[in-house]
Amino acid sequence: MSERIGVYVCHCGTNIAGKVDIDKVVEFAKGLDDVTLVREYKFMCSDPGQSLIQKDIEDGLINRVVVASCSPLMHEKTFRNVCTRGGLNEYLFAMANIREQCSWVHVDEAQTTEKAKDLIEASVRRVALQVPLTKREVPINPQTLVIGGGIAGIQAALDLADAGKKVILIEKEPSIGGHMAKFDKTFPTLDCSACILTPKMVSVGQHENIELLSWSEVEDISGYVGNFNIKIRKKARYVDAELCNGCGACWEKCPGTRVPRKGNVHEKLSLGPTTSIYMPFMQAVPAIPVIDTETCIRFKNGKCGICAAVCERNAIKYDMEDEIVEFEVGNIILATGFQTFDPEPVKRYGYGRFDNVMTAIEFEIMNCASGNTGGKILMADGKEPKSIGIVHCVGSRDKHYNEYCSRVCCMYALKYSHLIKEKIDAEVYEFYIDLRCFGKGYEEFYDRLLGEDVRFVRGKVAEVTEVPIEEAEKGKLVVEVEDTLVGMVRRIPLDMVVLCTGLEAHESLPDVAGLCSVSIGKDGFVIEKHPKLGPVATATDGVFIAGCCQSPKDIPDTVAQASAASSAVLSMITREKIEIESATASVDEDKCSGCKLCNSLCPYLAIKYDEEKGVSVVNEALCKGCGTCAAGCPSNAISAKHFEDRQIFAEIKGILSA
Partner 1 sequence: MTFEPKIVGFLCNWCSYTGADLAGTARIKYAPNIRSVRVMCSGRIEPTFIIKALFEGADGVLIAGCHPGDCHYQEGNYKALRRHRLLQRILPEYGVEPERVRLEWIAASEGERFATIVNEFTEQIRELGPLGVKESLAEAMKDDIDHHEEHIEESGAANEA
Positions touching partner 1 (CB under 8 A) are 71-74, 97, 99-102, 104-108, 111-112, 114-115, 118-119, 122, 129, 131, 514, 517, 519-523, 527, 539-540, 583, 588, 590-591, 601, 603-604, 624-628, 630-632, 636, 639-640, 643-646, 648-649, 651-653, 655-656
The span from the CA of 514 to the CA of 534, in Å, is: 20
Distances (CA, A) of 426 to 63, 107, 387: 78, 59, 5
The span from the CA of 539 to the CA of 530, in Å, is: 9
183 Cβ contact list (under 8 Å, min separation 6): 193, 364, 368
**111 or 484: whose CB is closer to partner 1?**
111
Nearest 5°: phi and psi at 202?
-65, -45
**325 or 520: whose CB is closer to partner 1?**
520
Nearest 5°: phi and psi at 609?
-90, 125
**122 or 393: whose CB is closer to partner 1?**
122
Cβ 40 to partner 1, closest distance in Å?
21
DSSP result, 48-71: HHHHHHHHHHHTTS-SEEEEEES-
The span from the CA of 637 to the CA of 591, in Å, is: 5
**74 or 249: whose CB is closer to partner 1?**
74
Q: Quickly list H helices, 492-593.
A: 509-515, 555-575
For 108-194, strand residue ranges (E) read 136-139, 144-147, 167-170, 185-186, 191-192
Cβ 70 to partner 1, closest distance in Å?
9
Cβ 163 to partner 1, closest distance in Å?
31
Question: With b meaning 16 or more CB within 10 Å and e meaning fewer, what string describes 311-324?
Answer: beeebbbbeeeeee
**115 or 415: whose CB is closer to partner 1?**
115
Cβ 629 to partner 1, closest distance in Å?
9
Question: With b meaning 16 or more CB within 10 Å and e meaning fewer, what string describes 543-573?
Answer: bbbbbbbbbbbbbebbbebbbbbbbbbbebb
Cβ 643 to partner 1, closest distance in Å?
6
**202 or 631: whose CB is closer to partner 1?**
631
Cβ 117 to partner 1, closest distance in Å?
10
Phi-psi region of 140 (alpha: psi -120 to 50; beta: other; left: phi over 0): beta
Cβ 338 to partner 1, closest distance in Å?
18
**128 or 304: whose CB is closer to partner 1?**
128
The span from the CA of 429 to the CA of 417, in Å, is: 8
Nearest 5°: phi and psi at 598?
-65, -30
**244 or 626: whose CB is closer to partner 1?**
626
**231 or 460: whose CB is closer to partner 1?**
231
SS3 241: coil
The span from the CA of 630 to the CA of 626, in Å, is: 9
Distances (CA, A) of 539 to 208, 530, 549: 32, 9, 15
How many CB atoms within 10 Å of residue 243? 14
**164 or 531: whose CB is closer to partner 1?**
531
The one-letter code for the residue type at 615 is V
SS3 471: helix
The span from the CA of 647 to the CA of 526, in Å, is: 33
Distances (CA, A) of 429 to 94, 156, 313, 483, 497: 61, 38, 52, 12, 9
**72 or 552: whose CB is closer to partner 1?**
72
Cβ 72 to partner 1, closest distance in Å?
7
CB 419 within 8 A of CB 186: no
**122 or 457: whose CB is closer to partner 1?**
122
Cβ 151 to partner 1, closest distance in Å?
27
First to last CA, the chain: 23
Cβ 605 to partner 1, closest distance in Å?
11
DSSP result, 351-405: BTTBTTEEEHHHHHHHHSTTSTTTT----TTSPPPSEEEEEEEESSS-TTS--S-
Cβ 124 to partner 1, closest distance in Å?
14
The span from the CA of 417 to the CA of 457, in Å, is: 13
**239 or 585: whose CB is closer to partner 1?**
585
Cβ 143 to partner 1, closest distance in Å?
24
For 127-261, strand residue ranges (E) read 136-139, 144-147, 167-170, 185-186, 191-192, 210-213, 216-224, 227-234
Cβ 51 to partner 1, closest distance in Å?
27
Cβ 531 to partner 1, closest distance in Å?
9
User: Among candidates 506, 528, 561, which has minimal Cα distance to 151?
Assistant: 561
Cβ 355 to partner 1, closest distance in Å?
40
User: Among candidates 220, 238, 239, which has minimal Cα distance to 230?
Assistant: 220
**198 or 222: whose CB is closer to partner 1?**
222
**77 or 577: whose CB is closer to partner 1?**
77
Nearest 5°: phi and psi at 78?
-55, -50
